[in-house]
Amino acid sequence: MDPADPFAAHLGQWQADFSPSLHGEVRNGLLWLHGTVADHRQRQALAAAVTETLPEEVVVNAVTVALDEAVADAVILRYLHAALSNAPGVSVETLAVEVGDGVVSLVGEVGSAAELAQAVDLAASVRGVRRVTCLLALAPDAQRRDLRIVEQVMERLCFTPGIDDRLIRVMATEGEVVLFGRVADASQARQVERLAAEIDGVTAVRNLLSVDRR
């Protein structure tokens, strides 16, 4: 064994048995082992293997095993897949999960903003996750439904006598309609809200219309 490189004969085996991220160095007269393992039990097993393997004449004073206790990416991925699969309201068929250095990337399409938020929250709750990058998008079907709702509400307002639809803006998200703009009086605001609620596919209406005081 080369005393200048005391890890050379064993590092490959440790990487295969415990983690490919392991690497060693000699610093300040001590042998240091760095890297990431899946859990604390594996960390203890590695420390035992190092102590049993390295001959005493190579060890200067002590061997320090300095391992990151973060959960390995493969373990994060396994736990996250299980969490998403068991979560009500989350469709895993259209999701892809990528993990690198504790950073989770969620890619694909979801049916609603609530499903998107749930997937992100689940990913962030997994032990070892440092950050969640959300690349999810609402499925085109959901976007088309909301767009159609907006079109139908505006069409209904356009053909309702006494309502100036040019002063009203409509937004829809997952079937929830939000009304903005100005109307002549409170009764007209209630009328607009009622007309919006009658549109097929509308699940709720938030009335943020203001009454024109002029």
CATH number, domain containing residue 57: 3.30.1340
**3-state per-residue secondary structure call for 111-123:** CCHHHHHHHHHHH
- Which one is predicted more confidently, 152 or 115? 152
Q: Does position 60 have pLDDT exceeding 50, yes or no?
A: no
Within a domain: residue 184? yes
Length of the chain: 214
Are both 202 and 174 inside the same structural domain?
yes
Average pLDDT, integer, range 37-45 = 70
**Strands 103-110 and 131-138, sheet pairing:** parallel
On whether the pTM is more than 0.85, the answer is no
Report yes or no on 197 lying in a domain: yes
Could you tell me the residue range of the domain that residue 93 belongs to?
73-138
Query: Would 2 be classed as within a structural domain?
Result: no
**Is 185:213 a contact under the CB 8 Å cutoff?**
no
Overall domain count for the chain: 3
Domain match, 85 and 23 both: no
pLDDT given at position 59: 39
Q: Are 153 and 132 in a shared domain?
A: no
